[in-house]
Amino acid sequence: MPEFNELGGGALGLNEALGRILGMEKLGPAPTLAPEISPSIDLGRLPDEWAGPAGYKIFLFGAIASAVAGELSYSGISNPAGSNVLVVVEAFMLEGAGTYTLRFRVTDTPTVDAGVIPRDLRWPAAQVGTSHFISGAEAAATGAAMARFSTPAAATAMPAWTACRVVLAPGTNVVIEHGTVNTAFTNNWLWWERRLRAEELSFQ
C-alpha cells in the first residue's frame, strides 16, 4: 500500500501526508512546527483504511488475456495521458504456463476494461478511477523489457503475488506479455492512484 515516505519532501512532505490522512486540502509548510524533520524519516506504510481520506484509491482487478491467432497477448495497467494522477503498480499474479515479459510502454492503443472499481468499497460505485486495466494482442512485442520470467506447466497451489513497484506517470503503462502467440493467461493486478503534483513530473 502507499507509504508515508512516498510523498517525500521533508517537513512539507510530512505535513501533506498528515493533511491527506485528515482529509485536509492545500496544507502549507509549517517551518516552526517541524523544521528538524529529515526527509529520510520512516513513518511506515499507510494503512488501507486511511488511504481514502488521504487521497488514494486502491484497486484490485483480474481477467483473462484472450488468445489471438498469430499474436502475443498482453494485459496490464495504464495511466492515460493528461490524467493528472500518479499510479503505482504494487503487484501482479499470473496463472498459465509459459514465458512472460514485463514491459514498460510510453505509448499504446489498448483495449480498456471499464469494470475496475476501488478496492475500498466506501468509494461511490460510479468512481471507477482514472487508471485502467488494459488488455490486447500484437504481432510483435513493443516497449522496454523490464523483466522476464516463466511459470510452471501445472500449478500445485494458488499462484502467489509477485511484488512489482512500478511508478506510472500520465501517458505510460506497464504490461505482462506472453512469449507464445495464440496463448491466453489469467492475470490479477494490485495498484493505486492519487492526485499528481506538478513538481513530480520530473527530477532535478
User: Same domain, yes or no, for 62 and 48?
Assistant: no
CATH number at residue 98: 2.60.120
Total count of domains within the chain: 2
pLDDT at 114: 59
Give the residue numbers spanning the domain of 17: 4-52
Any domain includes 204: no
HEC states along the chain? CCEHHHHCCHHHHHHHHHHHHCCCCCCCCCCCCCCCCCCCCCCCECCHHHHCCCCEEEEEEEEEECCCCCCEEEEEEEECCCCCEEEEEEEEEEECCEEEEEEEECCCCCEEECCCCECCCCCCCCCCCCCEEEEEEECCCCCEEEEEEEECCCCCCCCCCEEEEEEECCCEEEEEEECCCCCCEEEEEEEEEEECCHHHHCCC
pLDDT at 143: 87
Any domain includes 29: yes
Q: Would you give per-residue pLDDT tens digits along the chain (204 residues)?
A: 555 444 444 444 556 666 665 555 554 554 444 555 555 445 556 667 777 777 788 888 888 899 999 999 999 999 988 889 999 999 998 888 888 999 988 865 666 665 676 677 677 666 667 888 888 899 998 888 988 888 776 655 567 788 888 999 999 999 999 999 999 998 899 999 999 887 888 765
